[in-house]
Amino acid sequence: MEGEIVRITHENVELVGEIINLRERLVMVEILEPFCNYSSFLYLIPEDPSSKHFFKNYKEYAKEVLIDIYKKLIWLDVRIERISVKYDLHLEEREAVKGVENRVVKERIEGKLRNLFFDEYFTLNAVGFKFTLGERDRIMAILEIYKLLNFKIYVT
């Protein structure tokens, strides 16, 4: 249940997470080891036949979420330096847009630039999984902190 610790070994790495939210058809997990400060969730739609047995199998779903988080963070960790350089270029592009006087046009261009950056480096290139739009702000915060402090906030 909520607050419960989940452990699983994946690719010879012990993953530890905490169930931080458990509701009907939804489990949210925060990774504690080998990374930290990142959470994700799994939600089963009511039409999914396995949703009938959700509470019986919630630990297995939590383990799936934990593995998904690990894959995303290990992928990011290996590429963060290269992505950080691309993020700097993205920020330069967004800075150039500030000169556009028409607010509606400027916001539209900024949104397209954000979408392009996120899609290019997190949605299309991540093999085997996808970073969701809901994770966009966390990824941007990770990159911003790495850019400013040269520190990975998701590393224990």
Q: Give domain limits for the chain.
A: 5-149
Taking the C-alpha atoms of residue 129 and residue 125, their distance in angstroms, rounded to an integer, is 9
127 has pLDDT over 60? no
pLDDT the model gives residue 26: 85
Averaged pLDDT, 28-33: 95
Highest mean pLDDT among 40-44, 90-94, 123-127: 90-94
- State the Cα–Cα distance between residues 70 and 34, nearest whole angstrom: 8
**Between 121 and 21, the higher pLDDT residue:** 21
Percent of the chain scoring above 90 in pLDDT: 54
Query: Which tops the pLDDT comparison, 117 or 1?
Result: 117
d(CA 111, CA 127): 25
pLDDT for res 81: 93
pLDDT per residue over 43-97, tens digit each? 877 666 666 666 778 888 899 999 999 999 999 999 999 999 999 999 999 999 9
pLDDT(104) > 90: yes
Closest CA to 143 of 96, 98, 91: 91
Q: Inform me whether the pLDDT recorded for 9 exceeds 90.
A: yes
